[in-house]
Structure 1
Amino acid sequence: MSVAEGLKGARAELEQLPALQKIRKAVQLSVIISQELFGSLLQIPYGFRAFRTYHSLPKAALPGASKEDAVTLIRDLRYASGERCVIDLYLPPGKDLSKTFDDDTGTPAALFCHGGVWSTGSKWHYAPMAKRMAQEGVLVGVMQYSLYPQAMVPRMVDEVGAALTWMMDNAQRYGASSDRVSLLGHSAGAHLCAMALLQRAPIAAGSKEGRAGGGEDARMPQQFIGMAGVYDVSQHYLYEEARGVAKLSTMERAMGGSAGFAALSPSQLLAEAAWRHRQHAERRQLEGLRGERLSQRIGLDHDLDGPLPPVTAPGESPAAPVLSQKDMAALPPVFLLSGMKDTVVPWYESAEFALRLRDAGVPVKKLTYKAADHGTFVTGWRAKNGPARPEDGLPDPCEDTLEIIKRGHSSVAFPRSLSVGTLDSAGKGSASLLEEFGAGADSPEQIKACTDPPEEPSAGAPA
């Protein structure tokens, strides 16, 4: 998080407390801030490695000779007018920009959106990840976007959409296939990517004026990969309150206050849409036995023949159901990654979003890792140096991310999902939408493909 903004939030919280509570809270915040600073110190070795990797990469000539054995880098390609609206492009070895590429190159591309509590983050931080992906034959774009307090979340969402448009417009120019662009986001970046796709869905579905009419882009990426993302802002705020960091975090301020939580929560937007389109009028509040709340959110306490009911915090207004059935069907396949050791954004937030996508008829695969913490998904990457060596291996989340980008969703068996497109009189759905993606059958081959082998513990985030 931004230290300056965190201290500003802490000061504002203390000013509202009486003297005795102020002392207790000050001690608590001091402990939390010390822990955050200690965690930052532990990341210094990775920071040095990322900085060294970023500044050691040769520049790609435009146009010019190819680098047969090296990843090359084009820095600060502008995708929008904002000061921070630039992309670094990592080219796989051997890409000769003096050539004209056709549509049949087959090279996959990935656009990555960083996290940082909507208030911090720089593209050079992710150079080890981007370089390794490029070494594996992927054209990689690492974007920046405007940050709080200079910008609020709706503007950030617009900028992610603009960056995705730029990537799809320019993938072929840099030797990749425009129809093989994956959108990746980590933490707050995953939230922004999910919101950008929901914003684009009505255009892709034809419910809203698209690009031909001078409006926004209607194209969708091949797939979305969300890593340790925040998808229900209201529920994550409650989690931050329990940790004692809600006011240190810039999330509430970047969203424009709690009144904006529901409308900026992808999980809530999908929940409302799926629930109402399935003709279920009854709503469920987070109430009853204390252990029910989390069980409801991860789908362990609802009727399996209907959608997971929207769960809103007491006194909170539900999100406006802005998405139609057709809109939800336009969303791309989704992969959601989370780690059991993540205490910043717990794994079950991705699990809940996976269920919301399932109920909306969106092909979704939830991947969970025992040994991954919040940073593993982005700091666990190492570039290859020369011939393959045992130490070039990656943590499981990184290996899976590479495989998804390179193989695409067509080779993956998705779990069955209730389809928003086929409803009976009781509002119950079928699995028709996912059958289009080859996941409707339950053959032995598909069961085998859906069954993960026993996971070996990874080493976590390397220094």
Structure 2
Amino acid sequence: MTVQCIYGWPNKPGYKKYIEALKPRRIYCMTKAVLERLKYLQYGRLYFQLKSWYETDENKKHYEKGITFGRRGQKLDLYFPPNVSRLNDGPPPLVVFIYWRRMSEELSAAVVCPDYCTYPQGNVLGMVQDIADCLVWARESGAKFNFDKDKIVLIGHSAGAHLCALTALFLADEREELLMEAGVQREVAESVRGVIGLSGVYNILEHYEHERKRAVEYVSTMHKAMNGVENFPYYSPTHVLKEVGQEKLSRLPPFALLHGSSDFVVPVQSSCKFSALLSGLDVNVSLYLLPGLNHMDIVTDLMSADRRYYHPIYSCIKLEWRKLNLLHP
């Protein structure tokens, strides 16, 4: 009941919403979902490690926080690779990560973590616009902050992976909804050298059906951020991909999709099906299925080198980095 009060009641008329919320199966599934969330407490140590990293004076030279970008005055944090002074091959590439900063060190890359409007302040289109604005900022700011504006990689986890894929597709298709000139969109699209999705959602309708089976569809903000079920195709990378013409498909960067086999929040089939669709349309794609990883492991274990899956995950990412000729010796 508490969860329903916080996140919203079933969209049924009148008293029927309470009857729906009190169905035994829904209560069971909701309780199970809440108990699964309690497992996240094990990541508390990582939070304090992150907090202490920011409080160390030596680390302050490696990041700059609160940089303003975009039409809505969003903020981003920029992280510099600690070995940047030793790089002899020009400025490092840039990762736009939705979210995390550890990659700066592992990949010898600058890393940007941008804010974007979230529901209820905005919908999915607003989120994509904010990420596109961040890419425009990167194009304009590479020289100032010493990163390569022509070597940008989008990386995201879960909904972040969905937004990265959707942004790349909208840019390749030169969507008017981005409110950018076509020439600017082409320049930005050409700067994006790759998209790496971690446990991403790529078919919104299928994921909504999965949420319904878990009886969490009413407390999830996904369909609300889409402005209703009728917009699911428009915001589904799988659907958008089928509508993009062959000439524009050639503008898409390579994709790498990573997914844990024990992910019950976003089933592994999400990445498998998207990979098959990309491959069928001759878009460069690599699929990595990681045994034993759940939905959170694939992102939280990137935070610290002593985590169980840290090296397996980074091995996949670094392999893609080498394919893109972005990894410095």
Instruction: Name the TM tier (shorter chain).
Output: 0.7 to 0.9
**Alignment of 1:87 onto 2:76:** yes
- Cα distance in 2 for partners of 1:232, 1:10 equals 24
Offset at residue 162 of structure 1 (A):
1.1
Instruction: Verify the 8 A CA contact 1:90 1:134 in the aligned structure 2.
Output: no
Secondary structure of 1:141's counterpart equals strand
Deviations 1:397-449 (A, max 9, x none): 133223423x24369xxxxxxxxxxxxxxxxxxxxxxxxxxxxxxxxxxxxxx
**Alignment of 1:402 onto 2:318:** yes
Within a 5 Å distance, the mapping from 1:211-226 to structure 2 comes to 211=183, 217-226=188-197
Question: What letter matches 2:167 in structure 1?
Answer: A
Structure 2 CA distance for partners of 1:8 and 1:92, relative to 1, 3 Å: closer
Offset at residue 47 of structure 1 (A):
2.2
- Cα distance in 1 for partners of 2:268, 2:130 equals 27
Instruction: Verify the 8 A CA contact 1:135 1:383 in the aligned structure 2.
Output: no
Secondary structure of 2:90's counterpart equals coil
**Alignment of 1:210 onto 2:199:** no
**What is residue 363 of structure 1 aligned with on the other side?**
284
**What is residue 50 of structure 2 aligned with on the other side?**
50
Instruction: Verify the 8 A CA contact 1:73 1:91 in the aligned structure 2.
Output: yes
Secondary structure of 2:67's counterpart equals strand
**What is residue 163 of structure 1 aligned with on the other side?**
134
> For structure 1, which segment, 3-12 or 332-341, has the greater mean C-alpha deviation from structure 2 after superposition?
3-12
- Cα distance in 1 for partners of 2:223, 2:77 equals 29
Counterpart selection for 1:344 from 234, 252, 265: 265
Instruction: Verify the 8 A CA contact 2:266 2:295 in the aligned structure 1.
Output: yes
Instruction: Verify the 8 A CA contact 2:9 2:21 in the aligned structure 1.
Output: no
Offset at residue 141 of structure 1 (A):
1.0
**What is residue 8 of structure 2 aligned with on the other side?**
9
Secondary structure of 1:195's counterpart equals helix
- Cα distance in 2 for partners of 1:326, 1:219 equals 14
Instruction: Verify the 8 A CA contact 2:65 2:78 in the aligned structure 1.
Output: yes
Secondary structure of 2:173's counterpart equals helix
Instruction: Verify the 8 A CA contact 2:256 2:285 in the aligned structure 1.
Output: yes
Question: What letter matches 1:73 in structure 2?
Answer: Y
- Cα distance in 2 for partners of 1:350, 1:109 equals 24
Q: From the two aligned structures, give the one with the greater helix fraction.
A: 2
Question: What letter matches 2:27 in structure 1?
Answer: V
Offset at residue 325 of structure 1 (A):
1.1
Offset at residue 215 of structure 1 (A):
9.3
Question: What letter matches 1:325 in structure 2?
Answer: Q
Offset at residue 224 of structure 1 (A):
0.7
- List alignment gaps of at least 5 residues for structure 2: none
- Cα distance in 2 for partners of 1:335, 1:172 equals 28
Secondary structure of 1:246's counterpart equals coil
- List alignment gaps of at least 5 residues for structure 1: 61-71, 115-125, 274-320, 385-389, 412-463
**What is residue 248 of structure 2 aligned with on the other side?**
327
Question: What letter matches 1:228 in structure 2?
Answer: S
Structure with larger Rg:
1
**What is residue 209 of structure 2 aligned with on the other side?**
238
Instruction: Verify the 8 A CA contact 1:187 1:230 in the aligned structure 2.
Output: yes
Instruction: Verify the 8 A CA contact 1:153 1:254 in the aligned structure 2.
Output: yes
**TM-score using structure 1 length:** 0.62
Counterpart selection for 1:110 from 88, 95, 119: 95
Tell me the percent identity: 25
Deviations 1:350-406 (A, max 9, x none): 11111111122210111110021111222102456xxxxx8898241133223423x
- Cα distance in 1 for partners of 2:93, 2:20 equals 58
Instruction: Verify the 8 A CA contact 2:10 2:20 in the aligned structure 1.
Output: no
Structure 2 CA distance for partners of 1:264 and 1:49, relative to 1, 3 Å: same
Instruction: Verify the 8 A CA contact 2:234 2:240 in the aligned structure 1.
Output: yes
- Cα distance in 2 for partners of 1:404, 1:172 equals 25
**Alignment of 1:201 onto 2:172:** yes
RMSD value, Cα: 3.2
Structure 2 CA distance for partners of 1:156 and 1:171, relative to 1, 3 Å: same
Secondary structure of 1:43's counterpart equals helix
- Cα distance in 2 for partners of 1:59, 1:374 equals 31
Question: What letter matches 1:354 in structure 2?
Answer: S
Structure 2 CA distance for partners of 1:131 and 1:210, relative to 1, 3 Å: same
Offset at residue 259 of structure 1 (A):
0.4
Deviations 1:191-241 (A, max 9, x none): 11111111110349xxx95236x9984534111101110000000000111
- Cα distance in 2 for partners of 1:20, 1:156 equals 31
Instruction: Verify the 8 A CA contact 2:83 2:108 in the aligned structure 1.
Output: no
- Cα distance in 2 for partners of 1:255, 1:21 equals 22
Offset at residue 173 of structure 1 (A):
3.1
